[in-house]
Structure 1
Amino acid sequence: MSDVLLHLATTAEWREHLTAGVIAPSVAEFVHLSTPDQVALPANRLFAGRTDLNLLVLDPGRIGVEVRFEPGLPTDPASMRFPHAYGAIPVHAVLAVVPYRPAPGDGFGTPVLPRTDAAGRLSAFEPSLLRRVATAEVPVTGGVAVRTDPVPASHRHNRLLIDGATDAATVLADAERTGLARVTLSGAGHAATATALADAGRRVTALVGMAGPAGGVRGRTEVVDVEALRPTWDAEWRRYGVDDAVVAQLTDRLLLEERVVDLRPLALRVDGEVVASAVLRIDGATADLDGLEVVPAHRGRGHGDALLADARAIAAGAGCDLVTLSAAADDHPRSWYARRGLAEVHRSWEIDPS
């Protein structure tokens, strides 16, 4: 059996699977799967021209039902056998969700898949999320540029996402061509390019991706809806000097994200007041934690510890085995998370105008 197996799903279909908790057989009595070297065949046959298709990267050991390798259609190569899963597959068997796009004029080809260790899953998470949310994407050297029209003020959702080979001059040219000034360079191999962009006058922020196991016992943290935390988040953004015209979009973008992932806003209250909050994004077996903040007047009382521990427990309850997050390489939260058992597994750089 292949190291991983793949299932084709549109962005909307994957969101439905997340809600259901399983990938269930539809018309046939089994779930259609493919190996990486054969997935282009059913993709071109069933999804020709679609730009909202994804590869669900499955761990065969977590599928939990019988998988049989059987013939496909009569028009398929006689020697080809496709994996069929006879029963519903739990969504926590999905290690990564990889956007799968056809090449103009050529259709779908053999995919490039991320590694399935913690570093690979972490590095795949955010670009996949942003591409599924985006209203448009444009190929650039080493990656794609994403634009999300409903939230133009969200730097996170309007940028170049680069994980392949490039250089500083090419990055600047692609940024000018796409009209997007902000860039993420993902992977330690981009260190020299990040330095060159800093020398060219761009503001460069080094980030570390951190990961640790899900687990533990949940405490007082609540899972609420986005709107319940909008006042808390609005106040936090204003404290950082964000203009009122922009503040609303920074919460609105989460409403867009919850259409494509299992998004769980987290709130920790004391005497009815929200004293700590964060966002947990669950995408198959991986949960990503973002924006953990404690209200300034309540810091130093262990609320951040309690929320982090609860986030890991909530992730485990959803079937996740891995929790990831990003932190600035030169800021205090990096060491704070490290002391709580999250290890550095990835490097990236955010490039912004000066």
Structure 2
Amino acid sequence: MTSPARPRPGSHSELATGGEDVVLHLIEPAAWRQALREGAVRPPSLDAVGFVHLSTPEQVHLPATALFPGRRDLVLLVVDPARLAAPVRLEPGRPEDPPGMLFPHLYGPLPTSAVVAVVPYRPPLEPVLPAPGDRHGRAVALYNSVPVRRAVGVGDVPGGVAVLDPDVPASHDNNRLVLSTPVDAAAVAAAAEEVGGNAGWPHRAALLTWPGAGQVAAALARQGWAAEELVLMGRSPAAPPDAPTDRVEVVVQTGVHDLWDRSWRRDLDVPPNRLDAVVDQLIRRERLNDLVVAVTDLVVREEGRVVAAAQLRVDGATAALESVMTDPAHRGRGHGDALVARALELAGAAGCDLVVLEASADDWPRHWYARRGFADLGRTWSVTREA
């Protein structure tokens, strides 16, 4: 993250690794995506001076200002020191840093499995850094972070950010407010109207992720918005469901397009004259996720045709299970169990200790996942209305 001078002999001490403290590494999103492919972060400093530069939360603004002045498109890797095998030493940083300040230096590659969260760094906004054992905080961080990293445009709004992608305007996930700190219903509605109106959104949408946001969602519902309560669920990838996984294939994403097309045409409430365009956009948006996290698409076939699918998104030590679906005519045959079991196996192999998902609070899949070991972590709310 920085290119400091080599430490002076005898100028370091070892970093304690107990408790829930975290250290940070500032990185460009593309470099993080490359690290996910390789399993570790190996910045130029590792070859140049023998270590990866880390910071405490109180220090990170110093290398950010020195190396990336004015940048707001970077991410913070939230690192659990207890997961690092290589030594971490406290040593001087750059000559212009405050006298006596010591930075944590990792004398080896930074394994992606030690990264418990990936948080956008957008000063002067204060980043929320979940502790390694805070499963709810890690889930919220992932669902707040991925939309920002994959967005074509990001803008500050009260309570969070607006994410925009004009190539897929029909996608609520890619064109909405992502709000992580409390604001009232009037502020949500005003920001959505301003941003959505300027961007030409056919809808107004927001994701509300702070504790207690249900009251704001309820207030918006009284004003005509559709409000959906989402249950965040999570479990360890260890001991996956006892289901045979030999039926599950890993495929390139185009292999799932036909199933997605059938599913969205069946489930979407869209006027017929718009259906083709909306389905096309929803399919095209999916490739954007693999630009920022490691995506694996899984399918089950019957007689050569894809009839069930799921997607795993790995983002360091946290993974998300997405888009688990089975054609209605092929349900009850264990395809969902096989897909979940294989996704958990792959998450464990990638070094994840937490797999999360979103489920609608008032729909049956929530209970299906609970029977497969996923526990409730908390709530978020999605609010939408047509423009």
TM-score range, shorter chain: over 0.9
- For residues 154 and 78 of structure 2, what CA distance do their matches in structure 1 show? 22
**Alpha-carbon distance, 1:111 to partner:** 3.7
Tell me which structure has the larger Cα radius of gyration: 2
**1:140-219 alignment, distance < 5 Å:** 140-179=157-196, 181-216=204-239, 219=245
- Percent identity over the alignment? 50
Q: 1:114 aligns with which of 130, 133, 140?
A: 130
- C-alpha distance in structure 1 between counterparts of 2:343 and 2:22, whole Å: 28
Cα distance change of structure 1 residues 193 and 110 upon mapping to structure 2, 3 Å threshold:
closer
Contact 1:69–1:81 under 8 Å retained in 2: yes
Match in the other structure for 2:384: 352
Which residue of structure 2 lines up, in the alignment, with residue 323 of structure 1? 355
Alpha carbons 1:39, 1:110 under 8 Å: kept: no
TM-score by length of 2: 0.87
Unaligned regions of 5+ residues in structure 2, if any?
Answer: 1-15
Q: Which amino acid aligns with 1:299?
A: R
Residues in 2 aligned to 1:165 and 1:283: alpha-carbon distance in whole angstroms: 26
Contact kept in structure 1, 2:231 and 2:380, CA below 8 Å: yes
Cα deviation digits, residues 104-149 of structure 1 (max 9, x gap): xxxxx76432343110110111221000011111111111111012
Stretch moving more, 264-273 or 216-225: 216-225
Deviation at 1:163, TM superposition (A): 1.5
Give runs of aligned pairs for residues 251-270 of structure 1, distance below 5 A: 251-270=283-302
Tell me by how many angstroms 1:279 deviates: 1.2
Aligned to 1:11: 29
**1:306 partner letter:** A
Matches within 5 A, 1:1-354: 1=16, 3-26=21-44, 27-103=48-124, 111-116=127-132, 117-179=134-196, 181-216=204-239, 219-220=245-246, 221-241=248-268, 243-353=275-385
List per-residue Cα deviations over 1:164-207 (Å, max 9, x = no partner): 01011111111111116101111331121111111111111111
More deviation, 262-271/329-338: 262-271
Q: Which residue of 1 aligns with 2:11?
A: none
How many angstroms apart in 2 are the aligned matches of 1:229 and 1:112?
A: 35
Q: Give the distance between the partners of 2:382 and 2:178, measured in 1 at CA.
A: 10
Q: Which runs of 5+ in 1 are unaligned?
A: 104-108
CA distance in 2, matches of 1:64, 1:270: 45
- In 2, Cα distance between equivalents of 1:44 and 1:198: 42
Aligned to 1:106: none
Instruction: Give the drift of 1:25.
Output: 4.3
CA displacement 1:251-279 (0-9 Å, x = unmatched) = 21121111111011111223422221011
Between 1:172-181 and 1:197-206, the stretch displaced more is 172-181
Q: How many residues align?
A: 349
8 Å Cα contact 1:53-1:100 kept in structure 2:
yes
Moved over 6 A (4+): none
Cα shift readout 1:16-66 (whole Å, capped 9, x = no counterpart): 111111112423210110000000000010011223200000000112110
TM-score normalised by the chain length of structure 1: 0.95
Q: Would the aligned equivalents of 1:216 and 1:310 in 2 still touch at CA under 8 Å? A: no
- The Cα shift of 1:234 comes to 1.1
Q: Please report the RMSD computed on the Cα atoms of aligned residues, expressed in angstroms.
A: 1.6
